[in-house]
């Protein structure tokens, strides 16, 4: 058996496909669905921050997409300068610059995984499966940096703080609430679909792999 055969895995016999086609189609459909969800997530915010204070009774909202911010960004930039926080433009510059390309790359890997019928499919699917967790870890890192890199010359000095990526918090006179955006929720759903697809993938192809190995 060649190295390429080991990587690609066994081909499905026509008789087997006719008898049990659904067993092999479902993992492919799950991976395809996950790829579509990741692409759609690019159009939606991944993280939403709501802020309320006496001087802003209607509140302020910032929605973070993978590569840009929307909402009351200009208003908050002025407040950031006043209390010594940095500019949003200086946060996660590298990550925002590659985010769209990275997610499209994850989608491409998932689609390539449709043609792999061996355990090597994990090499192509695990990056997309773990992507939402990597996003949250990166977000928390930048939130920590944002709350600890304060300008001591600002008109109003804050104490260093670490805002949580989800949940309520207090920053000066602001009450904040951080929530997952619909884009991140879709990414987590995609992650779940991939994980389930891998379970079904192993069940479907393990007997064929064993027969392939026995046949040399």
129 token code pair: 């499966």
- What is each CA distance from 75 to 142, 167, 205, in whole angstroms? 20, 22, 56
Q: How many domains does the chain have?
A: 1
Greatest C-alpha distance within the chain = 76
pLDDT at 207: 86
Q: Average pLDDT, whole number, for the chain?
A: 89
Whether the predicted pLDDT of 215 surpasses 70: no
pLDDT at 179: 96
Percent of the chain with pLDDT over 70: 98
169 against 216, higher pLDDT: 169
Contact 66, 1 (CB under 8 A): no
131 against 15, higher pLDDT: 131
- Name the residue among 95, 85, 194 with its Cα closest to residue 145: 85
137 against 163, higher pLDDT: 137
Whether the predicted pLDDT of 64 surpasses 90: yes
pLDDT at 185: 98
168 against 78, higher pLDDT: 168
Domain containing residue 99: 3-214
* Rounded Cα distance, 104 and 214, in Å: 38
**Average of pLDDT values for 1-8?**
76
117 against 6, higher pLDDT: 117
Contact 137, 58 (CB under 8 A): no
Whether the predicted pLDDT of 84 surpasses 60: yes
CATH number of the domain residue 74 falls in = 1.20.140
Q: What pTM value is reported for the model?
A: 0.91
148 against 48, higher pLDDT: 48
What's the pLDDT band for 210 if we cut at 50, 70, 90? confident
* Rounded Cα distance, 180 and 212, in Å: 45
**Average of pLDDT values for 185-214?**
91
Whether the predicted pLDDT of 153 surpasses 80: no
**Average of pLDDT values for 128-153?**
89
């Amino acid at each position: 058996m060649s190295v390429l055969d080991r990587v690609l895995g066994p081909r499905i016999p026509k008789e087997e496909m006719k008898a049990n086609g659904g067993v092999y189609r479902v993992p492919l459909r799950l991976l395809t669905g996950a790829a579509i969800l990741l692409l759609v997530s690019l159009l939606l915010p991944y993280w939403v921050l709501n802020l309320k204070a006496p001087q802003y009774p209607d509140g302020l909202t910032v929605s973070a997409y993978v590569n840009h911010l929307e909402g009351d960004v200009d208003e908050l930039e002025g407040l950031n300068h006043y209390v010594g926080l940095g500019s949003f433009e200086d946060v996660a510059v590298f990550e925002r610059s590659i985010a769209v390309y990275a997610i499209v790359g994850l989608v491409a890997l998932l689609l390539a995984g449709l043609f792999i019928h061996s355990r090597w499919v994990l090499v192509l699917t695990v990056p997309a499966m773990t992507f939402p967790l990597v996003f949250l870890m990166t977000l928390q890192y930048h939130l920590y940096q944002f709350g600890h890199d304060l300008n001591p010359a600002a008109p109003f000095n804050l104490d260093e703080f670490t805002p949580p990526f989800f949940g309520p918090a207090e920053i000066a006179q602001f009450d904040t609430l951080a929530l997952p955006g619909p884009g991140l929720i879709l990414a987590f759903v995609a992650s779940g679909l991939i994980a389930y697809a891998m379970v079904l993938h192993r069940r479907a192809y393990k007997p064929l792999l064993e027969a392939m190995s026995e046949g040399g």
